[in-house]
Amino acid sequence: MSEKNFKIHSVKYNFLMNVILKTSTFIFPLVTFPYVSRVLGPGPNGDISFAASVISYFSLIAAMGIPSYGVRKCAEYRDNPIELGKVFQELLIINTLFTILSYAVLVLLVQIIPQFKNDSLLIYITSITIIFSTFGVEWVYQAIEQYDYITVRNIAFKIFAVIGMFVFVHKPSDYIVYAGITVFGNVGSNILNILRLPRYIPMKKYKKYNLKMHISPIFLLFLYNATTTIFTNLDQVMLGFMSSNKEVGYYAATVKIKNILTSVITSLGAVMLPRVAYYLGKKDNKAFARLIKKSFDFIFISAIPISLFFLIEAKPIIDFLAGSQYLRATVILQCIAPSIIFIGISSVTAWQLLIPLKLEKYTVLGAIVGAILNVILNIILIPKIGGAGAAIATTIAELSVLITHIIVLRELINENKFIEFIELYKVILASIIATIVILVFNYCVTVANSLLECLLSGIIYFSCYIVVLFIVKNKMIREISKDIITRLG
């Protein structure tokens, strides 16, 4: 194999594929949850959730930061199959060693801890995800930007899993079967990855492997992922200890809504990482700067209005998505909505700047700062205002992460003019005008149905927002409209 054997699609195409993939990860649980919760009941469902949460930590150890690092490193060498094959094999060797270590610790703990031993079959079935994640090497396909293959394959296996669930899961005792089907739906598609790999990666033995060069960046990314995992789960744990389970339920509902929004907004980051790493590897600084500018523009144009809309329309959104019994979560959603903006911007600073520029240690620093601040604010605010306090703590903590990144990157951002402030001001102006319009609409018109209110408000708000962006001649909105006209023409 002397040249690359794969097609590189445009960033827009890859972004669309990744949005579809991210959206499917939320749609499928919405389809299956009502059925599974009724058929299995709270006991078996709790067992499955417990096993999944246990395995998530062992998966973190097995992965050891390689999925993120592998995307960056393989993207640098995607035009050089020989070097790409060597780097791939080095990372797979490291990944395999940590997978063996992770499994050894898991088996030991299953024998020692009674609760693990009682659920040993379920834990071992769920642990199959570790093996398939390691040898499925999804990061290689992301590095060479095969997002259409990743998306189609992933959705197809999820559909098979949903069909399998309805066919084989009918009573509480089927929870083991359901766990197996869930594993199949999540990582079964990685079997195809293994079979397709020789198309893209030379399967030859190299004389000398340099594993040592990868250890430091991999460990830093592991620390970042571990800190972020703790950071994002800590608020609910602390809320459970310091408040009631009901309050945790209200908070969890808002977090799910926030996660759906942020996953779509940050989808661009996952797509851009391999492309940014590729340009940096080629020392094409102009293409690199152009991509970063577009990333910031996209985050501003999407995250700011979405955050404001969910802040204004929190009540009907909660009523529609979670039900009237969750209306107490309205204030919580309003408190956590601004974090969407901070998470969106920090996804660019982390995944498209710090990590490709090999400044991973500052992503770890940002996560640690956010985690410490989150704990302190949770201790102060949760006893006083419950879930709203946790939401405020999360929002401020996410802002602190972003500020940490900006302090580190300020010279680079200023030198390259990554942020076009005139375009940012246009987005803010359009968002404010759309907000005023929707507030007047809500004051003048009463809509009894929450779904109808969400639809009407959304149409009015975003139509007004887009019209104002056209009037003030926002660059990105004009570029998108030209693209659409060209395609239709």
- Tokens for 439, please give them: 């507030």
- Which range scores top for mean pLDDT: 4-13, 151-160, 401-410, 476-485? 401-410
Residues 6+ apart with CB under 8 A from 441: 456, 457, 460
Residue type, 213: M
On average, the pLDDT of the chain sits at 87
Whole-number Å distance between alpha carbons of 104 and 98: 10
Give 201's DSSP letter. Answer: S
Does the pLDDT value for residue 4 go beyond 60? Answer: no
Q: Which residue in 288, 427, 411 sits closest to 348, CA to CA?
A: 288
pLDDT category at 399 given cuts 50, 70, 90 is very high
pLDDT category at 288 given cuts 50, 70, 90 is confident
pLDDT category at 488 given cuts 50, 70, 90 is low
Report whether 480 contacts 445 (CB < 8 A).
Answer: no
Q: Give me the pLDDT at residue 33, please.
A: 66
Does the pLDDT value for residue 2 go beyond 50? Answer: no
Q: Give me the pLDDT at residue 489, please.
A: 57
Rg (C-alpha) for the chain, rounded Å, is 23
pLDDT category at 487 given cuts 50, 70, 90 is low
Overall average pLDDT of the 251-271 stretch: 80
Report whether 308 contacts 431 (CB < 8 A).
Answer: yes
Does the pLDDT value for residue 9 go beyond 90? Answer: no
Give 352's DSSP letter. Answer: I
Q: Which residue in 236, 237, 263 sits closest to 250, CA to CA?
A: 236
- DSSP per residue, 69-89: HHHHHHHHTTT-HHHHHHHHH
Does the pLDDT value for residue 198 go beyond 80? Answer: yes
- Tokens for 114, please give them: 């009674």
| Own/partner long-range contacts of 78-81 (Cβ < 8 Å, ≥24 apart) | 78/4, 78/143, 78/144, 78/274, 78/278, 79/4, 81/1, 81/2, 81/3, 81/4, 81/5, 81/201, 81/202
Whole-number Å distance between alpha carbons of 251 and 390: 8
Query: Side-chain half-sphere of 15: how many Cα atoms within 13 Å?
Result: 15
More confident residue, 237 or 366: 366
Q: Give me the pLDDT at residue 478, please.
A: 85
pLDDT category at 1 given cuts 50, 70, 90 is very low
Does the pLDDT value for residue 314 go beyond 90? Answer: yes
3-class secondary structure, 9: coil
- In terms of Cβ atoms closer than 10 Å to its own Cβ (0-12, 13-18, 19+), residue 142 is buried
- Which range scores top for mean pLDDT: 228-242, 244-258, 325-339, 471-485? 325-339
Does the pLDDT value for residue 468 go beyond 80? Answer: yes
Q: Which residue in 95, 31, 110, 13 sits closest to 487, CA to CA?
A: 13
Tell me which H or E stretch contains 420. none
Q: Which residue in 14, 80, 8 sits closest to 281, CA to CA?
A: 80
Overall average pLDDT of the 310-323 stretch: 88
| Own/partner long-range contacts of 113-121 (Cβ < 8 Å, ≥24 apart) | 116/54, 119/47, 119/50, 119/51, 121/176
Give 8's DSSP letter. Answer: P
Does the pLDDT value for residue 30 go beyond 70? Answer: no
- In terms of Cβ atoms closer than 10 Å to its own Cβ (0-12, 13-18, 19+), residue 219 is middle
Residue type, 354: L
Task: Provide, rounded to the nearest whole percent, the portion of the chain with pLDDT above 90.
Answer: 40
H helix runs in 188-284, sequence order: 190-196, 212-242, 245-265, 267-281
Overall average pLDDT of the 2-11 stretch: 64
Task: Provide, rounded to the nearest whole percent, the portion of the chain with pLDDT above 70.
Answer: 96
More confident residue, 166 or 13: 166
Does the pLDDT value for residue 227 go beyond 70? Answer: yes
Q: Which residue in 221, 154, 251, 250 sits closest to 193, CA to CA?
A: 154
Report whether 167 contacts 107 (CB < 8 A).
Answer: no
Whole-number Å distance between alpha carbons of 437 and 446: 15
Whole-number Å distance between alpha carbons of 85 and 88: 5
Q: Give me the pLDDT at residue 465, please.
A: 96
Overall average pLDDT of the 242-265 stretch: 82
